[in-house]
Amino acid sequence: AQKVTQAQTEISVVEKEDVTLDCVYETRDTTYYLFWYKQPPSGELVFLIRRNSFDEQNEISGRYSWNFQKSTSSFNFTITASQVVDSAVYFCALSEAILTGGGNKLTFGTGTQLKVEL
Amino acid sequence: TAGITQAPTSQILAAGRSMTLRCTQDMRHNAMYWYRQDLGLGLRLIHYSNTAGTTGKGEVPDGYSVSRANTDDFPLTLASAVPSQTSVYFCASSEWGDYGYTFGSGTRLTVV
């Protein structure tokens, strides 16, 4: 069975600090996708990044960066110079192989609440 | 703006009553899903539909039913609501072979 573990329930940082959110996953599939979603206080789910299992190239996008390591089954997310607007719940998710018939299932971690304070 | 529309935004429902949460997409995606979000548990799959006319059970299907009469609509019905169904419900869709989802804005349901 697929599993996503976000061991950090809540993280508090002071603005401008760097913060890393951890994600560890389990899967038997050789082809899979990993995602990070952000859920601000308004409640919607905002897509941040998608990575497939064949692409371990790490990525930087503005203040965000991602570290994907298949050897340790980890897909960590770092915010550099955090800002108050980064305060949100962040979910890591793993996409299972296609459900019978064509769809796919996302398995979510339990989320990490990030609080950025002045 | 293309995407998924969920209604209502929020609802308070008496236990034992029935209710249908509506979900409509305009992207012509084949697959649609219903998830519930609970504190400390993340999002869990309730039901899914790979294409119009077919549905399947997810992790937590008990107490819920769905139908998929056409490509665009995927309503979720609670036949007799119980307090444990208090949650935020998200509808989502995806195209076959595309591992990413488009999410609706959610429905906050409180069963009292």
Angstrom distance (rounded) from CA A22 to CA A67:
10
What residues of chain A lie within 8 A of the CB of B101, using their CB? 47, 106
- pLDDT per residue as tens digits for the range A13-36: 999 999 999 999 999 888 888 999
Do B42 and A110 make contact, defined as CB atoms within 8 angstroms? yes
pLDDT at A74: 96
Chain B residue nearest residue A45, CA to CA: B103
Once rounded to an integer, what is the mean pLDDT over residues B37-53?
92
Q: Do B100 and A52 touch (CB under 8 A)?
A: no
Q: What is the 3-class SS of chain A, one letter each residue?
A: CCEEECCCCEEEEECCCCEEECCEEECCCCCCEEEEEEECCCCCCEEEEEEECCCCCCEEECCEEEEEEHHHCEEEEEECCCCHHHCEEEEEEEEEEECCCCCEEEEECCCEEEEEEC
- Per-residue pLDDT, averaged over B80-90, amounts to 97
Mean pLDDT of B74-100: 91
CB A92 within 8 A of CB A67: no
**Is residue A8 predicted with pLDDT exceeding 90?**
yes
- Partners of B29 on chain A (C-beta within 8 Å) are none
Reply yes or no on whether the pLDDT at A100 is more than 80. Answer: no
Q: Do A33 and B99 touch (CB under 8 A)?
A: yes
Res. A103 pLDDT band, cuts 50 70 90 = confident
Nearest to B50 among A33, A43, A102 (CB): A102
Please name the residue of chain A whose CA is at the shortest distance from the CA of residue B93: A103
Q: Does the pLDDT value for residue A98 go beyond 80? A: no
Residue B101: pLDDT over 90: no
Q: Is residue B91's pLDDT more than 70?
A: yes
Bridge partners of A70? none
In 3D space, the residue among B26, B25, B42 whose CA is nearest the CA of residue B87 turns out to be B42
